[in-house]
């Protein structure tokens, strides 16, 4: 059974004061609600992790980092370690967001090392995967996704694969005007699951969650979640305010109520 997820990455947004207001709104809304069918997470900037953790401590909303270094400590100015994220109360770490690839030269070979370190530290990696617009136009989306996921997961045993959350985020849809269509998402998620099946077996493929991200809104969310292989939504802009994230959670909760068991 794959538990559905709703999560948001804030990028370089939300000060400590804004984080406290966000988290307090979310905590007040979630009090007394049964959200046990979902895994929920927010990924604040590092400086807001402590505030988020404190304000969300009695809620089902977990926190995570937006990036992480593969080494345990040392001369890596500006970086943060897995142990530091754990100490800050993180359950998740986002890896390979397209902005890390595009602006900071990150590669999936580096992501593989980060993922391995994160798994050993007990963090759940949220592994972003996605093709660029030219790769899509060239009909290479599935080949690109396969290379990304197999590079990042190289060396992991099949039984650990479901401990990773995959996030299909087409790079051309992130921060854009429109999400990918449900049909397009269904093809990519289906092919990703086939890749997991071919390399890690049926059980790993059936149990691993694959989220969709890229211009998700409360309006387009239901149609995306109607795709059987979509296990939740990973959201940027539409959830940078608590009220927006609450609407996204409601959309995912509705889908979880009506969905037949997966995995
Ligand atoms: C993202 O940056 O991962 C993302 C999904 O952003 P948005 O929802 O704003 O497209």
Asked if residue 122 has pLDDT above 90, the reply is yes
**CA–CA distance, 108 with 25 (Å, rounded to integer):** 36
Which residue among 94, 97, 99, 135 is the active-site one?
A: 97
**Which comes out higher in pLDDT, residue 135 or 259?**
135
97 is known as an active-site residue: yes
pTM of the predicted protein model = 0.97
Q: What is the pLDDT of residue 262?
A: 65
**CA–CA distance, 133 with 63 (Å, rounded to integer):** 31
CB-ligand 1 contact for 13 (6 Å cutoff): no
Mean pLDDT of 2-12: 98
User: In this structure, what are the phi and psi dihedrals at residue 230, rounded to the nearest 5 degrees?
Assistant: -95, 120
Q: What is the pLDDT of residue 259?
A: 84
User: CB pairs under 8 A, 24+ apart, for 180-189?
Assistant: 180/212, 180/214, 182/223, 182/224, 182/226, 182/227, 185/212, 185/224, 185/227, 185/230, 186/227, 186/228, 186/229, 186/230, 187/142, 188/141, 188/142, 188/145, 189/227, 189/229, 189/230
Q: Find out whether 209 and 3 touch, Cβ atoms under 8 Å.
A: yes
Asked if residue 130 has pLDDT above 90, the reply is yes
**CA–CA distance, 152 with 148 (Å, rounded to integer):** 6
Q: What is the pLDDT of residue 226?
A: 97
169 is known as an active-site residue: yes
Q: What is the pLDDT of residue 1?
A: 83
CB-ligand 1 contact for 102 (6 Å cutoff): no
């Amino acid at each position: 059974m794959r538990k559905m997820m709703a999560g948001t990455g804030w990028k370089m947004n939300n000060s400590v004061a804004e984080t406290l207001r966000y988290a307090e709104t979310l905590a007040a809304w979630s009090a007394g609600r049964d959200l046990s069918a979902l895994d929920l997470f927010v990924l604040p900037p590092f400086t807001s992790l402590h505030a988020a953790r404190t304000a969300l401590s009695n809620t089902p909303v977990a926190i995570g980092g937006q990036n992480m270094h593969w080494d345990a400590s040392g001369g890596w100015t500006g970086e943060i370690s897995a142990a530091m994220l754990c100490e800050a109360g993180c359950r998740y770490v986002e890896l390979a967001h397209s902005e890390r690839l595009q602006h900071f030269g990150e590669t999936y070979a580096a992501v593989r090392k980060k993922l391995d370190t994160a798994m050993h530290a007990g963090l759940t990696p949220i592994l972003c995967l996605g093709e660029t617009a030219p790769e899509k136009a060239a009909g290479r989306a599935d080949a690109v996704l396969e290379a990304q996921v197999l590079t990042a997961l190289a060396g992991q045993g099949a039984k650990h694969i479901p401990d990773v959350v995959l996030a299909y985020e087409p790079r051309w849809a992130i921060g854009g005007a429109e999400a990918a269509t449900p049909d397009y998402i269904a093809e990519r998620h289906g092919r990703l699951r086939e890749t997991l099946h071919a390399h890690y077996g049926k059980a790993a493929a059936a149990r691993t969650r694959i989220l969709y991200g890229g211009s998700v809104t409360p309006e387009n969310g239901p149609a995306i979640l109607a795709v059987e292989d979509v296990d939740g939504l990973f959201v940027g802009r539409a959830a940078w305010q608590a009220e927006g994230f609450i609407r996204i959670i409601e959309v995912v909760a509705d889908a979880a109520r009506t969905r037949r068991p997966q995995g």
